[in-house]
A = this chain, B = another copy of it.
Protein backbone atom coordinates (compact mmCIF):
# COMPACT_ATOMS: atom_id res chain seq x y z
CA UNK A 1 0.00 0.00 0.00
CA UNK A 2 1.14 3.52 -0.73
CA UNK A 3 -0.08 6.39 1.48
CA UNK A 4 -3.53 6.43 3.01
CA UNK A 5 -6.77 7.86 1.73
CA UNK A 6 -8.02 11.41 1.68
CA UNK A 7 -10.49 11.51 4.57
CA UNK A 8 -14.22 11.58 3.93
CA UNK A 9 -14.53 14.92 5.71
CA UNK A 10 -11.83 16.53 3.61
CA UNK A 11 -13.24 15.51 0.25
CA UNK A 12 -15.84 12.77 0.05
CA UNK A 13 -15.67 12.49 -3.69
CA UNK A 14 -11.90 12.26 -3.71
CA UNK A 15 -12.04 9.70 -0.89
CA UNK A 16 -14.38 7.56 -3.00
CA UNK A 17 -12.21 7.70 -6.11
CA UNK A 18 -9.04 6.86 -4.18
CA UNK A 19 -10.74 4.02 -2.37
CA UNK A 20 -12.03 2.42 -5.57
CA UNK A 21 -8.52 2.58 -6.94
CA UNK A 22 -6.54 1.52 -3.85
CA UNK A 23 -8.85 -1.32 -2.93
CA UNK A 24 -8.30 -2.63 -6.48
CA UNK A 25 -11.99 -2.52 -7.36
CA UNK A 26 -12.09 -0.76 -10.73
CA UNK A 27 -10.47 1.81 -12.96
CA UNK A 28 -11.37 4.06 -15.86
CA UNK A 29 -10.61 2.48 -19.21
CA UNK A 30 -9.21 4.37 -22.14
CA UNK A 31 -12.67 4.12 -23.73
CA UNK A 32 -14.56 7.22 -22.67
CA UNK A 33 -16.99 6.48 -19.86
CA UNK A 34 -16.33 2.74 -19.71
CA UNK A 35 -14.78 1.08 -16.70
CA UNK A 36 -12.58 -1.93 -16.12
CA UNK A 37 -13.88 -3.94 -13.20
CA UNK A 38 -10.78 -5.47 -11.63
CA UNK A 39 -10.77 -9.00 -10.20
CA UNK A 40 -11.36 -7.96 -6.58
CA UNK A 41 -14.22 -5.64 -7.53
CA UNK A 42 -15.66 -8.24 -9.85
CA UNK A 43 -15.60 -10.88 -7.14
CA UNK A 44 -17.97 -8.68 -5.10
CA UNK A 45 -20.26 -8.48 -8.13
CA UNK A 46 -20.12 -12.27 -8.48
CA UNK A 47 -21.25 -12.66 -4.87
CA UNK A 48 -24.11 -10.23 -5.46
CA UNK A 49 -25.08 -12.02 -8.66
CA UNK A 50 -25.10 -15.41 -7.08
CA UNK A 51 -27.37 -14.34 -4.20
CA UNK A 52 -29.74 -12.33 -6.39
CA UNK A 53 -29.88 -15.06 -9.00
CA UNK A 54 -30.98 -17.57 -6.39
CA UNK A 55 -33.61 -15.12 -5.08
CA UNK A 56 -34.94 -14.69 -8.62
CA UNK A 57 -35.10 -18.43 -9.13
CA UNK A 58 -36.77 -18.94 -5.76
CA UNK A 59 -39.49 -16.54 -6.94
CA UNK A 60 -40.02 -18.55 -10.12
CA UNK A 61 -37.85 -16.75 -12.66
CA UNK A 62 -35.56 -18.21 -15.33
CA UNK A 63 -32.67 -16.57 -17.12
CA UNK A 64 -32.51 -16.03 -20.86
CA UNK A 65 -30.51 -13.92 -23.28
CA UNK A 66 -31.66 -11.33 -25.84
CA UNK A 67 -29.65 -9.44 -28.48
CA UNK A 68 -27.26 -6.62 -27.62
CA UNK A 69 -28.54 -4.62 -30.58
CA UNK A 70 -31.94 -3.02 -31.01
CA UNK A 71 -33.17 -1.76 -34.40
CA UNK A 72 -33.66 1.99 -34.27
CA UNK A 73 -37.31 1.72 -35.31
CA UNK A 74 -38.16 -0.32 -32.20
CA UNK A 75 -37.42 2.67 -30.02
CA UNK A 76 -39.91 4.84 -31.81
CA UNK A 77 -42.72 2.43 -31.03
CA UNK A 78 -43.12 3.44 -27.41
CA UNK A 79 -43.17 7.25 -27.38
CA UNK A 80 -42.01 8.05 -23.86
CA UNK A 81 -39.42 5.26 -24.02
CA UNK A 82 -37.62 6.82 -26.98
CA UNK A 83 -37.73 10.23 -25.29
CA UNK A 84 -36.04 8.72 -22.27
CA UNK A 85 -33.19 6.97 -24.04
CA UNK A 86 -32.63 8.50 -27.49
CA UNK A 87 -30.23 11.20 -26.33
CA UNK A 88 -27.74 8.79 -24.81
CA UNK A 89 -27.40 5.88 -27.24
CA UNK A 90 -24.42 4.21 -28.84
CA UNK A 91 -25.38 3.80 -32.50
CA UNK A 92 -23.94 1.12 -34.79
CA UNK A 93 -24.00 2.30 -38.40
CA UNK A 94 -21.46 0.07 -40.21
CA UNK A 95 -20.35 -3.54 -40.09
CA UNK A 96 -16.89 -3.53 -41.60
CA UNK A 97 -13.52 -1.80 -41.47
CA UNK A 98 -11.05 -1.73 -44.33
CA UNK A 99 -7.53 -0.72 -45.14
CA UNK A 100 -7.60 2.55 -47.07
CA UNK A 101 -4.54 1.58 -49.11
CA UNK A 102 -2.29 3.94 -47.14
CA UNK A 103 -2.02 1.67 -44.16
CA UNK A 104 -4.92 3.25 -42.28
CA UNK A 105 -7.84 1.27 -40.96
CA UNK A 106 -11.03 3.10 -41.82
CA UNK A 107 -14.76 2.45 -41.77
CA UNK A 108 -15.88 0.78 -45.00
CA UNK A 109 -18.59 3.06 -46.37
CA UNK A 110 -19.86 0.19 -48.52
CA UNK A 111 -20.80 -1.64 -45.35
CA UNK A 112 -23.43 0.77 -44.09
CA UNK A 113 -26.42 -0.76 -42.31
CA UNK A 114 -29.83 -0.16 -43.86
CA UNK A 115 -31.22 0.49 -40.41
CA UNK A 116 -28.99 1.67 -37.59
CA UNK A 117 -28.71 -0.52 -34.52
CA UNK A 118 -28.74 0.84 -30.98
CA UNK A 119 -26.61 -0.82 -28.32
CA UNK A 120 -29.24 -1.68 -25.72
CA UNK A 121 -29.67 0.87 -22.94
CA UNK A 122 -32.41 -1.46 -21.61
CA UNK A 123 -34.22 -4.28 -23.38
CA UNK A 124 -37.98 -3.73 -23.15
CA UNK A 125 -38.37 -3.17 -26.88
CA UNK A 126 -36.38 -6.13 -28.20
CA UNK A 127 -37.86 -8.40 -25.55
CA UNK A 128 -41.48 -7.43 -26.18
CA UNK A 129 -40.90 -7.85 -29.87
CA UNK A 130 -39.77 -11.40 -29.01
CA UNK A 131 -42.59 -12.11 -26.55
CA UNK A 132 -45.02 -11.46 -29.38
CA UNK A 133 -44.00 -14.86 -30.76
CA UNK A 134 -44.27 -16.59 -27.38
CA UNK A 135 -47.72 -15.54 -26.27
CA UNK A 136 -51.04 -16.55 -27.74
CA UNK A 137 -53.14 -17.63 -24.79
CA UNK A 138 -53.37 -17.17 -21.03
CA UNK A 139 -51.77 -20.62 -20.82
CA UNK A 140 -48.52 -19.06 -22.05
CA UNK A 141 -48.57 -16.65 -19.10
CA UNK A 142 -46.95 -15.60 -16.91
CA UNK A 143 -43.54 -15.32 -18.52
CA UNK A 144 -40.99 -14.75 -15.77
CA UNK A 145 -37.65 -14.07 -17.38
CA UNK A 146 -34.48 -12.36 -16.23
CA UNK A 147 -31.36 -11.41 -18.16
CA UNK A 148 -27.84 -10.73 -16.86
CA UNK A 149 -26.25 -8.37 -19.35
CA UNK A 150 -24.22 -5.30 -20.18
CA UNK A 151 -26.03 -2.12 -21.23
CA UNK A 152 -24.85 1.22 -22.56
CA UNK A 153 -26.12 4.71 -21.78
CA UNK A 154 -23.96 7.47 -23.14
CA UNK A 155 -23.44 9.44 -19.94
CA UNK A 156 -21.33 12.55 -20.18
CA UNK A 157 -20.24 12.78 -16.57
CA UNK A 158 -19.18 9.39 -15.34
CA UNK A 159 -18.09 7.96 -12.01
CA UNK A 160 -16.83 4.44 -11.38
CA UNK A 161 -19.71 2.08 -10.52
CA UNK A 162 -22.19 4.93 -9.97
CA UNK A 163 -22.55 6.24 -13.48
CA UNK A 164 -20.69 4.76 -16.43
CA UNK A 165 -21.43 4.56 -20.13
CA UNK A 166 -21.39 0.76 -19.99
CA UNK A 167 -22.48 -1.10 -16.91
CA UNK A 168 -23.48 -4.62 -15.91
CA UNK A 169 -26.93 -5.36 -14.59
CA UNK A 170 -29.83 -7.74 -14.54
CA UNK A 171 -33.15 -6.87 -16.08
CA UNK A 172 -36.28 -8.86 -15.31
CA UNK A 173 -39.04 -8.75 -17.91
CA UNK A 174 -42.31 -10.41 -17.06
CA UNK A 175 -45.60 -10.80 -18.89
CA UNK A 176 -48.95 -11.32 -17.18
CA UNK A 177 -52.61 -11.90 -17.90
CA UNK A 178 -53.91 -9.24 -15.52
CA UNK A 179 -52.90 -5.86 -14.16
CA UNK A 180 -53.23 -7.19 -10.60
CA UNK A 181 -50.77 -9.98 -11.24
CA UNK A 182 -48.30 -7.59 -12.84
CA UNK A 183 -48.53 -5.15 -9.94
CA UNK A 184 -48.07 -8.02 -7.51
CA UNK A 185 -44.93 -9.04 -9.41
CA UNK A 186 -43.63 -5.45 -9.40
CA UNK A 187 -44.04 -5.30 -5.64
CA UNK A 188 -42.61 -8.78 -5.10
CA UNK A 189 -39.40 -7.89 -6.91
CA UNK A 190 -39.08 -4.60 -5.06
CA UNK A 191 -39.27 -6.63 -1.90
CA UNK A 192 -36.58 -9.02 -3.19
CA UNK A 193 -34.33 -6.01 -3.80
CA UNK A 194 -35.07 -4.53 -0.39
CA UNK A 195 -34.31 -7.83 1.32
CA UNK A 196 -31.10 -8.21 -0.62
CA UNK A 197 -30.04 -4.67 0.29
CA UNK A 198 -30.84 -5.07 3.97
CA UNK A 199 -29.90 -8.68 4.66
CA UNK A 200 -26.88 -9.02 2.39
CA UNK A 201 -25.56 -5.54 1.72
CA UNK A 202 -26.38 -4.43 5.31
CA UNK A 203 -27.92 -1.40 3.66
CA UNK A 204 -31.18 -0.05 5.09
CA UNK A 205 -33.47 1.15 2.31
CA UNK A 206 -36.71 3.08 2.00
CA UNK A 207 -39.24 1.30 -0.21
CA UNK A 208 -41.26 3.79 -2.20
CA UNK A 209 -42.82 4.92 -5.43
CA UNK A 210 -41.37 7.47 -7.77
CA UNK A 211 -43.32 10.58 -8.75
CA UNK A 212 -44.54 10.65 -12.38
CA UNK A 213 -41.58 12.93 -13.22
CA UNK A 214 -39.06 10.37 -12.06
CA UNK A 215 -40.69 7.30 -13.56
CA UNK A 216 -38.93 4.97 -15.96
CA UNK A 217 -39.56 5.94 -19.58
CA UNK A 218 -42.60 3.84 -20.49
CA UNK A 219 -43.78 2.84 -16.99
CA UNK A 220 -47.13 3.49 -15.34
CA UNK A 221 -45.53 3.19 -11.95
CA UNK A 222 -41.93 2.95 -10.80
CA UNK A 223 -41.14 1.47 -7.41
CA UNK A 224 -37.70 1.99 -5.93
CA UNK A 225 -35.45 1.37 -2.98
CA UNK A 226 -33.53 4.43 -1.80
CA UNK A 227 -30.47 4.37 0.43
CA UNK A 228 -28.53 7.10 2.21
CA UNK A 229 -24.80 7.47 1.68
CA UNK A 230 -22.39 8.80 4.33
CA UNK A 231 -22.23 12.24 2.74
CA UNK A 232 -25.98 12.60 3.14
CA UNK A 233 -26.78 12.05 -0.51
CA UNK A 234 -29.38 9.51 -1.54
CA UNK A 235 -28.76 6.69 -3.97
CA UNK A 236 -31.40 4.80 -5.90
CA UNK A 237 -30.36 1.19 -5.44
CA UNK A 238 -32.97 -0.65 -7.48
CA UNK A 239 -36.18 -0.11 -9.40
CA UNK A 240 -39.19 -2.22 -10.28
CA UNK A 241 -41.62 -0.97 -12.92
CA UNK A 242 -45.26 -1.67 -13.60
CA UNK A 243 -45.40 -1.08 -17.35
CA UNK A 244 -49.12 -1.59 -17.82
CA UNK A 245 -49.91 -2.52 -21.42
CA UNK A 246 -47.62 0.10 -22.95
CA UNK A 247 -45.09 -2.25 -24.48
CA UNK A 248 -47.70 -4.86 -25.39
CA UNK A 249 -49.53 -2.19 -27.34
CA UNK A 250 -46.36 -0.87 -28.94
CA UNK A 251 -45.41 -4.38 -30.11
CA UNK A 252 -48.92 -5.72 -30.58
CA UNK A 253 -48.69 -8.52 -28.03
CA UNK A 254 -52.20 -9.85 -27.45
CA UNK A 255 -53.52 -13.00 -25.83
CA UNK A 256 -56.76 -14.89 -25.43
CA UNK A 257 -57.80 -14.76 -21.79
CA UNK A 258 -59.69 -17.44 -19.85
CA UNK A 259 -62.98 -15.96 -20.97
CA UNK A 260 -61.92 -16.29 -24.60
CA UNK A 261 -61.50 -12.56 -25.09
CA UNK A 262 -58.52 -10.89 -26.71
CA UNK A 263 -56.54 -8.46 -24.55
CA UNK A 264 -53.11 -6.89 -24.44
CA UNK A 265 -50.55 -8.46 -22.10
CA UNK A 266 -49.48 -6.72 -18.86
CA UNK A 267 -45.81 -6.13 -18.18
CA UNK A 268 -43.22 -5.45 -15.52
CA UNK A 269 -39.49 -4.87 -15.61
CA UNK A 270 -37.00 -4.53 -12.78
CA UNK A 271 -33.27 -4.14 -12.44
CA UNK A 272 -30.22 -3.61 -10.29
CA UNK A 273 -26.72 -2.97 -11.54
CA UNK A 274 -23.03 -2.72 -10.68
CA UNK A 275 -24.10 0.61 -9.16
CA UNK A 276 -24.82 -1.47 -6.05
CA UNK A 277 -21.06 -1.81 -5.57
CA UNK A 278 -20.86 1.98 -5.42
CA UNK A 279 -23.65 2.00 -2.84
CA UNK A 280 -21.90 -0.66 -0.80
CA UNK A 281 -18.68 1.35 -0.74
CA UNK A 282 -20.26 4.70 0.09
CA UNK A 283 -22.56 3.38 2.80
CA UNK A 284 -20.06 1.51 4.95
CA UNK A 285 -16.44 2.32 4.20
CA UNK A 286 -14.18 4.56 6.28
CA UNK A 287 -10.97 6.55 6.06
CA UNK A 288 -8.90 3.36 6.31
CA UNK A 289 -10.55 1.80 3.27
CA UNK A 290 -13.33 -0.53 2.30
CA UNK A 291 -15.70 -2.00 4.87
CA UNK A 292 -17.56 -5.01 3.52
CA UNK A 293 -20.50 -6.82 5.09
CA UNK A 294 -19.24 -10.37 5.70
CA UNK A 295 -22.00 -11.91 3.59
CA UNK A 296 -20.67 -10.22 0.45
CA UNK A 297 -16.95 -10.19 1.25
CA UNK A 298 -14.94 -12.26 -1.26
CA UNK A 299 -12.48 -13.03 1.54
CA UNK A 300 -14.17 -13.18 4.93
CA UNK A 301 -11.17 -14.06 7.06
CA UNK A 302 -7.48 -13.48 6.49
CA UNK A 303 -4.79 -15.18 8.54
CA UNK A 304 -1.42 -13.45 8.83
CA UNK A 305 1.59 -15.17 10.43
CA UNK A 306 4.09 -13.14 12.47
CA UNK A 307 7.27 -15.09 12.87
CA UNK A 308 10.96 -14.74 13.66
CA UNK A 309 12.20 -17.93 12.01
CA UNK A 310 11.27 -20.88 9.82
CA UNK A 311 10.43 -23.03 12.83
CA UNK A 312 7.88 -20.53 14.12
CA UNK A 313 6.41 -20.18 10.65
CA UNK A 314 5.96 -23.93 10.38
CA UNK A 315 4.19 -24.11 13.70
CA UNK A 316 1.93 -21.17 12.78
CA UNK A 317 1.20 -22.67 9.36
CA UNK A 318 -0.08 -25.84 10.98
CA UNK A 319 -2.53 -23.88 13.09
CA UNK A 320 -3.52 -21.74 10.11
CA UNK A 321 -4.14 -24.77 7.90
CA UNK A 322 -6.32 -26.40 10.52
CA UNK A 323 -8.26 -23.20 11.12
CA UNK A 324 -8.71 -22.69 7.36
CA UNK A 325 -10.07 -26.19 6.97
CA UNK A 326 -12.44 -25.74 9.91
CA UNK A 327 -13.71 -22.40 8.60
CA UNK A 328 -14.23 -23.73 5.07
CA UNK A 329 -16.42 -26.46 6.52
CA UNK A 330 -18.64 -23.70 7.87
CA UNK A 331 -18.76 -22.12 4.40
CA UNK A 332 -16.43 -19.29 5.38
CA UNK A 333 -13.92 -18.08 2.79
CA UNK A 334 -10.45 -17.72 4.22
CA UNK A 335 -7.04 -16.70 2.95
CA UNK A 336 -3.76 -17.59 4.61
CA UNK A 337 -1.24 -14.98 3.56
CA UNK A 338 2.23 -16.40 4.18
CA UNK A 339 3.99 -14.34 1.49
CA UNK A 340 7.53 -13.76 2.63
CA UNK A 341 7.91 -10.71 0.38
CA UNK A 342 5.80 -8.43 2.58
CA UNK A 343 5.89 -7.55 6.27
CA UNK A 344 2.85 -8.09 8.54
CA UNK A 345 2.21 -4.33 8.81
CA UNK A 346 1.97 -4.04 5.06
CA UNK A 347 -0.45 -6.97 4.94
CA UNK A 348 -2.57 -5.50 7.75
CA UNK A 349 -2.93 -2.24 5.81
CA UNK A 350 -3.74 -4.08 2.60
CA UNK A 351 -6.56 -6.15 4.07
CA UNK A 352 -7.85 -3.11 5.91
CA UNK A 353 -8.00 -1.26 2.58
CA UNK A 354 -9.73 -4.23 0.97
CA UNK A 355 -12.30 -4.54 3.73
CA UNK A 356 -11.67 -8.12 4.85
CA UNK A 357 -14.07 -8.40 7.84
CA UNK A 358 -11.89 -10.48 10.19
CA UNK A 359 -8.12 -10.60 10.49
CA UNK A 360 -6.43 -13.36 12.48
CA UNK A 361 -2.79 -12.74 13.43
CA UNK A 362 -0.72 -15.57 14.90
CA UNK A 363 2.68 -14.86 16.45
CA UNK A 364 5.30 -16.45 18.67
CA UNK A 365 3.55 -15.56 21.91
CA UNK A 366 0.32 -17.04 20.56
CA UNK A 367 2.15 -20.31 19.97
CA UNK A 368 3.16 -20.38 23.62
CA UNK A 369 -0.26 -19.38 24.92
CA UNK A 370 -2.50 -21.30 22.52
CA UNK A 371 -4.11 -18.05 21.38
CA UNK A 372 -4.55 -15.87 18.30
CA UNK A 373 -5.20 -12.14 17.89
CA UNK A 374 -8.44 -11.26 16.17
CA UNK A 375 -9.18 -7.84 14.67
CA UNK A 376 -12.57 -6.71 13.36
CA UNK A 377 -12.54 -4.47 10.31
CA UNK A 378 -15.86 -2.76 11.09
CA UNK A 379 -14.85 -1.15 14.39
CA UNK A 380 -11.14 -1.91 14.64
CA UNK A 381 -11.49 -3.85 17.90
CA UNK A 382 -8.80 -6.38 18.68
CA UNK A 383 -8.87 -9.25 21.14
CA UNK A 384 -6.74 -12.22 22.05
CA UNK A 385 -8.73 -15.44 22.07
CA UNK A 386 -8.01 -19.10 22.64
CA UNK A 387 -7.46 -21.41 19.68
CA UNK A 388 -10.05 -23.81 21.05
CA UNK A 389 -13.39 -23.44 19.27
CA UNK A 390 -12.01 -20.66 17.09
CA UNK A 391 -14.12 -21.62 14.05
CA UNK A 392 -17.39 -21.16 15.92
CA UNK A 393 -16.10 -17.98 17.54
CA UNK A 394 -15.29 -16.49 14.13
CA UNK A 395 -18.57 -17.68 12.64
CA UNK A 396 -20.47 -15.85 15.39
CA UNK A 397 -18.24 -12.84 15.02
CA UNK A 398 -19.00 -12.57 11.29
CA UNK A 399 -22.73 -12.60 12.04
CA UNK A 400 -22.17 -9.91 14.65
CA UNK A 401 -20.20 -7.76 12.23
CA UNK A 402 -22.90 -8.09 9.58
CA UNK A 403 -25.47 -6.97 12.11
CA UNK A 404 -23.30 -4.14 13.43
CA UNK A 405 -22.67 -2.70 9.97
CA UNK A 406 -26.38 -2.71 9.27
CA UNK A 407 -27.24 -1.09 12.61
CA UNK A 408 -24.63 1.58 12.09
CA UNK A 409 -26.01 2.45 8.67
CA UNK A 410 -29.56 2.39 10.03
CA UNK A 411 -28.64 4.73 12.88
CA UNK A 412 -26.92 7.04 10.42
CA UNK A 413 -30.01 7.14 8.25
CA UNK A 414 -32.32 7.75 11.19
CA UNK A 415 -30.14 10.58 12.43
CA UNK A 416 -30.04 12.08 8.96
CA UNK A 417 -33.70 11.91 8.10
CA UNK A 418 -35.32 15.18 9.13
CA UNK A 419 -38.58 16.98 8.71
CA UNK A 420 -38.79 20.39 7.11
CA UNK A 421 -41.97 22.45 7.28
CA UNK A 422 -40.81 25.56 5.50
CA UNK A 423 -38.82 26.10 2.31
CA UNK A 424 -36.20 28.07 4.24
CA UNK A 425 -35.74 25.22 6.68
CA UNK A 426 -35.63 22.78 3.75
CA UNK A 427 -32.84 24.70 2.04
CA UNK A 428 -30.93 25.19 5.27
CA UNK A 429 -31.01 21.46 6.01
CA UNK A 430 -29.86 20.57 2.51
CA UNK A 431 -26.74 22.68 2.99
CA UNK A 432 -26.05 22.24 6.68
CA UNK A 433 -27.26 18.74 7.45
CA UNK A 434 -27.65 16.79 4.22
CA UNK A 435 -29.76 13.67 4.33
CA UNK A 436 -33.34 12.67 3.66
CA UNK A 437 -35.82 15.47 4.20
CA UNK A 438 -39.42 14.56 4.79
CA UNK A 439 -41.61 17.41 3.61
CA UNK A 440 -45.01 18.29 2.21
CA UNK A 441 -45.43 18.72 -1.53
CA UNK A 442 -48.47 19.83 -3.47
CA UNK A 443 -48.30 16.88 -5.85
CA UNK A 444 -47.56 18.83 -9.04
CA UNK A 445 -44.73 18.25 -11.48
CA UNK A 446 -44.15 22.01 -11.68
CA UNK A 447 -43.42 22.35 -7.97
CA UNK A 448 -41.18 19.30 -8.03
CA UNK A 449 -39.27 20.72 -10.99
CA UNK A 450 -38.89 24.15 -9.42
CA UNK A 451 -37.55 22.71 -6.17
CA UNK A 452 -35.11 20.61 -8.19
CA UNK A 453 -33.87 23.60 -10.16
CA UNK A 454 -33.49 25.79 -7.09
CA UNK A 455 -31.97 23.26 -4.69
CA UNK A 456 -30.79 20.25 -6.73
CA UNK A 457 -32.92 18.15 -4.41
CA UNK A 458 -35.34 15.68 -5.93
CA UNK A 459 -38.23 13.68 -4.58
CA UNK A 460 -36.56 10.34 -4.00
CA UNK A 461 -39.84 8.57 -3.36
CA UNK A 462 -43.23 8.49 -1.77
CA UNK A 463 -42.58 5.85 0.89
CA UNK A 464 -44.80 2.78 0.62
CA UNK A 465 -45.67 2.81 4.31
CA UNK A 466 -46.44 6.51 4.28
CA UNK A 467 -48.89 7.91 6.81
CA UNK A 468 -51.55 10.39 5.88
CA UNK A 469 -50.83 13.81 7.36
CA UNK A 470 -52.40 17.14 6.53
CA UNK A 471 -49.89 19.86 5.72
CA UNK A 472 -48.83 22.56 3.34
CA UNK A 473 -46.42 22.29 0.41
CA UNK A 474 -43.07 23.78 1.39
CA UNK A 475 -42.85 25.71 -1.86
CA UNK A 476 -46.41 26.74 -2.74
CA UNK A 477 -48.23 26.42 0.58
CA UNK A 478 -50.95 24.43 -1.17
CA UNK A 479 -52.56 21.61 0.80
CA UNK A 480 -50.82 18.23 0.91
CA UNK A 481 -52.02 14.92 2.32
CA UNK A 482 -48.66 13.30 3.01
CA UNK A 483 -44.97 13.97 3.31
CA UNK A 484 -42.56 12.78 0.62
CA UNK A 485 -38.85 12.08 0.85
CA UNK A 486 -36.48 14.62 -0.69
CA UNK A 487 -32.71 14.52 -1.03
CA UNK A 488 -29.86 15.44 -3.24
CA UNK A 489 -28.91 12.24 -4.96
CA UNK A 490 -26.31 10.34 -6.95
Complex Cα distance A365/B195, Å?
Answer: 47
CA of A173 to CA of B37, assembled, Å? 14
Which residues of the other chain, B, contact A62 by a CB distance below 8 angstroms? 39, 42-43
**Pick from B42, B65, B89, B90: contact of A65, CB under 8 Å:** B42
- 16 residue pairs of the A-B complex, CB under 8 angstroms, read A27-B133, A29-B130, A30-B130, A31-B71, A36-B64, A36-B65, A36-B66, A39-B62, A42-B65, A68-B150, A69-B166, A72-B97, A75-B105, A86-B99, A90-B94, A91-B95
Complexed CA–CA distance, A193 and B152 (Å): 32
Q: Which of A114-122, A283-291, A315-323, A375-383 is the contact stretch?
A: A114-122
Distance (whole angstroms) from the CB of A269 to the closest CB of chain B = 16
Cα–Cα distance between A450 and B31 once the two chains are bound (Å): 42
Assuming the contacts A87-B97, A96-B88, asked whether A63 and B75 have C-beta atoms less than 8 A apart, the reply is no
- From residue 88 to 129 of chain A, which have CB atoms closer than 8 A to chain B? 88-99, 104-105, 107, 116-119, 126, 129
- Residues of chain B with a CB closer than 8 A to A126's CB: 29-31
Task: Specify the chain B residue showing the minimal Cβ separation from A118.
Answer: B97
Measured between beta carbons, the chain B residues less than 8 angstroms from A188 are none
Q: Is the CB of B96 within 8 A of A154?
A: yes
The answer to whether B95 and A94 have CB atoms under 8 Å apart is: no
> Which chain B residues lie closer than 8 Å to A36 at the CB level?
64-67, 130
Query: A206: shortest Cβ distance to chain B, in Å?
Result: 30
Q: Which of A67, A82, A86 has the most CB atoms of chain B within a 10 A radius of its CB?
A: A67
Q: Is A470 an interface position by the 8 A CB rule? A: no
**What residues of chain A have their CB less than 8 Å away from a CB belonging to chain B?**
27, 29-31, 34-39, 42-43, 45-46, 62-73, 75-76, 82, 86-99, 104-105, 107, 116-119, 126, 129-130, 133, 139, 145, 149-150, 152, 154, 166, 168, 341
Within the complex, the shortest CB–CB distance from A262 to chain B, in Å, comes to 21
**Given A39-B63, A65-B42, residue A97 in contact with residue B71 (CB < 8 A):** no
Which of B70, B139, B149, B166 is in CB contact (< 8 Å) with A31? B70
Beta-carbon contact of A95 and B86 below 8 Å? no
Complex: A34 Cα to B87 Cα, angstroms:
25
**A122 to chain B: closest CB distance in Å?**
15
Chain B contacts for A94, CB-based, 8 A: 90-91, 93
* Most B-side CB within 10 Å, residue of A38, A95, A98, A107: A95
Given contact pairs A72-B97, A96-B154, A130-B36, A31 touches B91 in the complex (Cβ within 8 A):
no
Nearest B residue to A70 via CB reads B31
